[in-house]
Amino acid sequence: MDEKKVRDVVMIGAGPSALAAAIYTTREDIDTVLYEKGVVGGLAAITDMVDNYPGFPEGIEGMTLADQLQKQAERFGAHIEYGDVTALRDEGEYRVVTVDGNEVTARAVLIATGSDYNKLNIPGEAEYYGRGVHYCATCDGAFYRDKNIVVVGGGNSGVQEAIFLTRFASHIDLLVRSTVKASEVLQRDLQKYVDDGRVTIHLQTSPTEIIADEDGKVTTVKAIKDGQTIDFATDGVFVFIGLKPNTQFLQGSNVELDELGLVKTDHHLATNVTGVYASGDVRSGATMQVASAVGEGATAALSIREFLDAQKTA
């Protein structure tokens, strides 16, 4: 193996977790390259306002936060390149990543590709994302204090987040495509809010369009129930129909995934494959918050440093 072609660390993804990890590795002169196929900053970058990131009492625009993380990582020497990673394999002493058809060899790899929210794929959803359409109750629920909102989803996440949103919203219309499939415990908790009138459940109801006024403010969700079109007046829409981990490229890699397709790690954020780590929203057990993703990035970086140090002395 030609040592000149071996990177110390390849990070797959350039969201907050990878950028934070890169700040730590590059400050210790660990050669680090990040490959991103979409937007640097990940989901955070396309979030209108991040209101719960520590240190910003007035909140911070997602794109601004992503830009500052990128500049900080690059200041210490991180290399951020655009490229689509399609494969990862272990070759004993090295890991090989396929990027846009080319092979990149590294001593260690950090998987930080995040997860994407399953979408309704209806008109208005993408257009009003972050401006009335949301996928994170913890992130955006507080914007809807004393407002009427629509929540879509009848699984554990949909019901759990609807219950959480009762802290803020005056009324919630819960739209469920078939029947409520959440756990019995969650269904019993939800019933309390149905009984006091804060939540109305609409079964066999499928959203078809999200409508906003001329100022771009979401006002209505159109849906079909029993063949009839129904309009739900609302100030915002929260969609909870599951997550889709960005782990398709790991097929055939031997990296162990959980039943949802998220990457399994130990408490050092190491996967079952030597020299391969994972952090952020792609990791099984992640809290899906920017702050925790950044913290996991720092933890992963320290674990990678220890791994590389051990390699040198082996």
User: pLDDT digit string (tens) for 21-43?
Assistant: 999 999 999 999 999 998 899 88
Helix axes 16-27, 290-313, angle to 10 degrees: 40
- Do residue 261 and residue 292 come from a single domain? yes
The Cα 23–Cα 32 span in angstroms is 9
Residue burial 61-93, b: 16+ Cβ < 10 Å; e: rest: bbbebbeebbebbbebebebeebebeebebeee
pLDDT band of 145, cuts 50, 70, 90:
very high
Which pLDDT score, from 0 to 100, does residue 44 have?
A: 85
117 pLDDT more than 80: yes
**Of 45 and 4, the one with more pLDDT:** 45
Among 202, 217, 239, the domain-final residue is: 239
The enclosing domain of 54 has a CATH number of 3.50.50.60
HSE of 247 in the Cβ direction (CA atoms, 13 Å)? Answer: 27
- Do residue 207 and residue 248 come from a single domain? no
Alpha helices by DSSP H, listed for the chain, are 16-27, 42-45, 62-75, 137-140, 156-165, 184-195, 290-313
The Cα 163–Cα 191 span in angstroms is 10
- Do residue 135 and residue 233 come from a single domain? yes
Among 183, 205, 239, the domain-final residue is: 239
As a whole number, the mean pLDDT across the chain is 94
- Do residue 37 and residue 89 come from a single domain? yes
Please give the residue range of the domain that contains residue 270.
3-116+243-313
What's the pLDDT tens digit per position in 209-245? 999 999 999 999 999 998 999 999 999 999 999 878 9
* Residue corresponding to tokens 């520590």: 54
What's the pLDDT tens digit per position in 50-74? 888 999 999 998 899 999 999 999 9
pLDDT band of 103, cuts 50, 70, 90:
very high
Which pLDDT score, from 0 to 100, does residue 3 have?
A: 45
Number of domains, the chain: 2
What's the pLDDT tens digit per position in 246-266? 999 999 899 999 998 999 999
- Do residue 104 and residue 18 come from a single domain? yes
Alpha-carbon torsion angle 28, 33, 34, 36, nearest 10: 160
Indicate the SS3 state at residue 266.
coil
| Nearest alpha carbon to residue 109 among 32, 220, 177 | 32
pTM: 0.76
Among 215, 239, 263, the domain-final residue is: 239
- Do residue 260 and residue 227 come from a single domain? no
- Do residue 109 and residue 30 come from a single domain? yes
